[in-house]
């Protein structure tokens, strides 16, 4: 993950603009597929792929080098798996290419973002994310209270109702995304920058910060997502730890807690917010009964998924079922129905598609990256830079085991990891 110096020229500006476009398409891709161009819902699923290819071409033309050992080993493993897919796997080249694009297109994009962006770019994007969070929270509130037949809840293509299982007759809203997981990922990223700007409050308008904080708090009940609550709690914990390590920020941590408490109390006075809290509480109670408390999100979905994937690896074909086999698109092409043909968990999917040896090799690359980024973020925290540390709080969950088979989840992983790498660079020279 070495960073090369770039000249401040038009090519750098164009690359930065391309990364901004990647971010915009990530947030509003679902809106295009649902509301604006529903007849093109399927091809729009890959709308960011041509952009990434263009950015790679532009970077190579302008001698912007971002290639490193992580990319080399990832491409080598996928090349072997692609051959195995066509010989011993499912043999469908369209499905294989769809599965391979995750590693050969989007994974290197992490390092292109990290090379082209710097800390100031990360902060600028953080501000924009906070601005977007305010209307996004209003949107999911409207979706929460609207029937599934309403235009605002229109599904992908001609589907009616984009909501997902919730509680008390209320469904989890997808916001501008294709699926509700996009809402969870977006507001998890909002939490990172809300907490950062509470510590570095001089870098943003306080009215905007207050409104974004209210939007984040409102997103918890209206999203009806335990995963979002868990991720916000983790980021909050990282922020408090970081603020206490950076001694001059310890009082800001207390200010943040008081500010959050005051806004939560204010929101609770509104009946609309209270209904959301009741629906969310009901889902928590039902989930507690069926699966265990909030700790089940970590123990079952995270650690449990890792353990189950490794324990079942010996039952998978040595070279796997083939790239793309475990994705929804792959299942649609191969079986004419959307299903998890291998595993809903990311590690299980990787081992099932690539086989135990190659699948675990991919997992190790992701774990080694996570360890390296964790080490860097800790070192920067010790020199009083808290931004990488707070970004790490989201990276620790989305990089090792984030679902790369779903384009939106993949996009957020690419964006967050790229921003984390870029946050280590104070200026572009």
Answer left, alpha or beta for residue 206, where phi above 0 means left and psi between -120 and 50 means alpha.
alpha
Length reported for the chain: 429
* Intervals of the chain under pLDDT 70: 1-9, 158-168, 250, 287-314, 427-429
- Tell me how far apart the terminal alpha carbons of the chain are, to the nearest angstrom: 17
Question: Which is nearest to 140 in space by CA: 180, 110, 113?
Answer: 180
d(CA 195, CA 85): 44
Q: What is the pTM of this model?
A: 0.92
The pLDDT of residue 427 is 59
**Cβ contact 201:252 at 8 Å:** yes
Residue in the structure block whose two tokens are 């929804």: 328
Over the stretch 148-173, which tens digit does the pLDDT of each residue have? 888 898 888 766 665 566 666 788 89
**C-beta atoms surrounding 142 within 10 Å:** 14
The two tokens of residue 91 are: 């043999």
| pLDDT for 270 | 86
Whole-number pLDDT of residue 3: 47
What is the residue extent of each domain of the chain?
A: 10-422
Dist. CA 374–CA 250, nearest whole Å: 22
Task: Give the pLDDT of residue 2.
Answer: 47
Distance of CA 115 to the CA centre of its chain: 20
Query: Hey, what are 186's tokens?
Result: 């977006």
Say which residues have a Cβ less than 8 Å from residue 243's Cβ, sequence separation at least 6. 199, 249, 250, 252, 253, 256, 386
* C-alpha closest to that of 11 among 58, 52, 54, 53: 58
DSSP state of 196: H
Tell the residue number behind the tokens 């086989």, with chain if given. Answer: 355
CA distance 208 to 131: 7
Question: How confident is the model at residue 289, as a pLDDT?
Answer: 58
Tell me the pLDDT tens digit for each residue of 386-403: 999 999 999 998 999 899
């Amino acid at each position: 993950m070495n960073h090369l110096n770039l000249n401040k020229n038009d090519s750098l500006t164009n690359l930065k603009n391309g990364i901004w476009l990647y971010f915009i398409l990530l947030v509003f891709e679902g809106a295009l597929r649902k509301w604006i161009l529903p007849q093109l819902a399927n091809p729009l699923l890959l709308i960011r792929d041509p952009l990434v290819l263009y950015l790679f071409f532009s970077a190579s033309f302008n001698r912007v080098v971002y290639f490193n050992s992580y990319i080399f080993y990832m491409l080598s493993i996928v090349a072997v798996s692609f051959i195995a897919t066509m010989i011993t796997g499912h043999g469908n080249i369209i499905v294989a290419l769809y599965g391979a694009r995750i590693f050969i297109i989007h994974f290197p994009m992490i390092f292109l973002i990290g090379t082209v962006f710097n800390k100031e770019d990360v902060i600028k994007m953080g501000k924009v994310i906070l601005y977007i969070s305010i209307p996004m929270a209003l949107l999911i509130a409207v979706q929460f209270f609207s029937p599934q037949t309403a235009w605002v809840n229109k599904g992908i293509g001609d589907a009616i109702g984009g909501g997902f299982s919730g509680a008390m007759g209320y469904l989890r809203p997808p916001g501008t995304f294709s699926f509700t997981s996009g809402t969870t990922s977006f507001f998890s990223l909002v939490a990172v920058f809300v907490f950062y700007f509470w510590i570095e409050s001089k870098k943003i308008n306080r009215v905007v910060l207050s409104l974004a904080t209210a939007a984040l708090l409102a997103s918890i009940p209206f999203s009806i997502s335990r995963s979002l609550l868990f991720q916000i709690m983790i980021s909050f914990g990282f922020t408090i730890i970081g603020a206490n390590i950076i001694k001059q920020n310890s009082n800001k941590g207390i200010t943040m807690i008081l500010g959050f408490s005051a806004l939560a109390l204010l929101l609770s006075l509104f009946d609309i917010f209270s209904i959301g809290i009741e629906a969310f509480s009901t889902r928590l109670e039902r989930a507690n009964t069926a699966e265990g408390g909030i700790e089940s999100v970590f123990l079952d979905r995270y650690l449990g998924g890792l353990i189950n994937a490794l324990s079942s690896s010996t039952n998978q074909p040595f070279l796997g079922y083939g790239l793309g086999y475990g994705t929804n698109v792959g299942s649609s092409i191969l079986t004419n129905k959307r299903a998890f043909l291998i595993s809903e968990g990311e590690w299980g999917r990787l081992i099932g598609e690539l086989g135990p040896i190659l699948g675990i090799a991919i997992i190790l690359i992701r774990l080694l990256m996570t360890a390296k980024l964790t080490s860097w973020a800790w070192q920067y925290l010790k020199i009083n830079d808290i931004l990488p540390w707070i970004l790490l709080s989201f990276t620790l969950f989305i990089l090792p085991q984030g679902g790369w088979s779903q384009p939106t989840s993949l996009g957020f992983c690419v964006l967050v990891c790229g921003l984390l790498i870029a946050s280590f660079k104070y200026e572009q020279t």
